[in-house]
Amino acid sequence: MRRRIYLTLTAVVSLAIVLGGCSAPQVGTAEQTSTSAHEQLEEELGAFDITAEQRELAKSNEAGYEPLDAGRGNPNWINTKARYAFARLMEFAVTECQRDMSEGDMAGHGVADGVVERFDAAMDPADETDQFLIDAVDYCVGELGMDKEALLMELTDGIIGDYYPSPSRCLPLTETILNEYLQSTLYNGVDLKGQTQVFPTEGGSAAMCYIFHSLSHNRVLNPGDQIALATPIFTPYLQIPDVNNYGLVSVDVSSTSEEDWDIAEEELAKLEDPSIKAFFLVNPSNPASHALSDATLERLKRVVEKNPDLIILTDDVYGTFVSDFQTVYSVLPHNTILVYSYSKLYGATGWRIGMIAMNEDNVVDRLIDGLPNEDKAELAEEYDIVASNPDEMPFIERLCADSRSIGLYHTSGLSTPSQVFMDLLSLTHLINPDDDPYIEQSKAMVHERYVALMDALGLEPYTGRENAQYYVVVDVNELLRQRYGDDFVAWRREAVSDIDFLNDLAKKEGVVLMYGPGFDAPEGCVRISLANLNKDDYVEIARRMGELMDEYYAQYEEETSLAAAA
């Protein structure tokens, strides 16, 4: 399957944020609404837009039920340890500033001289939060070899936020901490921390925006180039609107339920074609929530041997929900751009904290170096205002510069308090990496919800380790087939479209699910998030789905009886 898509920074930002404000889909007779899915998508409505309208329907549902919204990927839990530590560190840092100068609500800046002794004196080992900060600092000094004074100054100045990020791309000790976290959680034993550079961003969405924009700006992706998408995939990758910038032709590399949502060998073979310039995937996937298998990772190695200039962009936000997860970056570090966000694991979607990670030796830098001299000269002229040797400016630094239109490179970078919060979240894991109770609790929670939902729907759960269980794709047609038989499924396809079903589920039963084909999943599929409701709610969702199905079946029996009588 191919589609022509058009990308601009503005377009990708608007998609990643997924703005609302679209007119509500109309709910009417089967004849009026049987093509509603097609019509809505033609009007550039996507899965998120459709779901936003169904949330409004669910609020005043006919049954008077409490609405249950399983469309959101936002988790209903947070990490408390890092947040308490952030508040405590802020308190210590403000006190440090007041030591320099204190007049009313005005204070000075932190001072390095004596900060180690003052920190040690201020932290109370009997206090759980203070003890975590003591352990975190000791870990950075003892395990990562950091200078304690330099670390405390980076943390205290950073959390106060009274200086621009310096360097712009990432605070120096923060980069070490973030690299250690990525290696511990995503690389599955592969040692890449010493050769990986990190660019903290305003969440994974901003990371994607910056990458798409800079690949285009640096002439790595050009109009007419083919890119591959691992489908089904997060809707904004499919939703990119028709705008007048640069055109890319996308090719689907599909996974299916028959393959347990892994990518079949013949699909991966598409990437061997050198006309495919880039391959974008979410791993574990969204909506299917499955990680690539070891066999697929090995096949990807062979793909890159045949297409060595292939750029792989992997979004691994759900990786920590899979035991022994291995990112594509750890398998193909020189071809892969890694995006990670703390949003899902730590309940930090509102913080907008994520990062881009790239190997120091990477295919993008090589492709830029091989550009025609005219292109290289034009780019050098642009970056010359911020770099003394623009030809040697690596792509990850160009990403940072491009994020502020180059000219404001010196004021770019993620806010320093946000970078410190990323440090603290990372350190909650790093001080106990082999048996992180928080990560294990998060995995156990979504697993419990997954099992409860599948049992209530009468479906067999997938027990392979690749299943992150953060979402589940349910084939409604298969549910109906098991419950009522093939004839009813055929009737439903004619009488009740997928959009009608979701509209009715919201309007009549107060349940909100996501439209599967909006992710390029097969017709009849819905995505159910296991992140934002409690276990019993998922049992109730299954019950209400059954209630609506029974209503449809009663209508089917009435119509078939009338047809037989006639």
Both 349 and 213 in a single domain?
yes
Distance CA 221, CA 395 (A): 13
Q: What does 487-522 look like in DSSP terms, one character per residue? A: HHHHHHHHHS-HHHHHHHHHHHH-EE-EEGGGGTPP
Query: What was the pLDDT predicted at 140?
Result: 98
Contact 21, 478 (CB under 8 A): no
Query: What was the pLDDT predicted at 245?
Result: 53
Q: How many CB atoms lie within 10 A of CB 179?
A: 22
Q: 115-122 and 148-160 are packed helices; what angle lies between their axes, rounded to 10 degrees? A: 80
Both 388 and 278 in a single domain?
yes
| CATH code: domain of residue 255 | 3.40.640.10
- Looking at residue 532, the DSSP 8-state letter turns out to be S
| CATH code: domain of residue 67 | 3.90.1150.10
Last residue of a domain, one of 117, 147, 162: 162
Both 280 and 362 in a single domain?
yes
- pLDDT for 114-142, tens place per residue? 999 999 999 999 999 999 999 999 999 99
Both 366 and 395 in a single domain?
yes
Last residue of a domain, one of 109, 143, 162: 162
Both 478 and 560 in a single domain?
yes
| CATH code: domain of residue 101 | 1.10.20.110
- pLDDT for 258-311, tens place per residue? 999 999 999 999 999 999 999 999 999 999 999 999 999 999 999 999 999 999
Both 152 and 228 in a single domain?
no
Both 225 and 330 in a single domain?
yes
Assess if residue 432 is contained within a domain: no
Both 88 and 214 in a single domain?
no
Distance CA 518, CA 364 (A): 31
Q: Which domain holds residue 53?
A: 34-73+437-565
Query: What was the pLDDT predicted at 543?
Result: 98
Beta partners for 266?
none
Both 470 and 546 in a single domain?
yes
Query: What was the pLDDT predicted at 516?
Result: 93
The number of domains in the chain is 3
Chain centroid to Cα 481, Å, comes to 33
Both 290 and 391 in a single domain?
yes
Task: Kindly give the parts of the chain with pLDDT less than 70.
Answer: 1-46, 235-246
Both 224 and 339 in a single domain?
yes
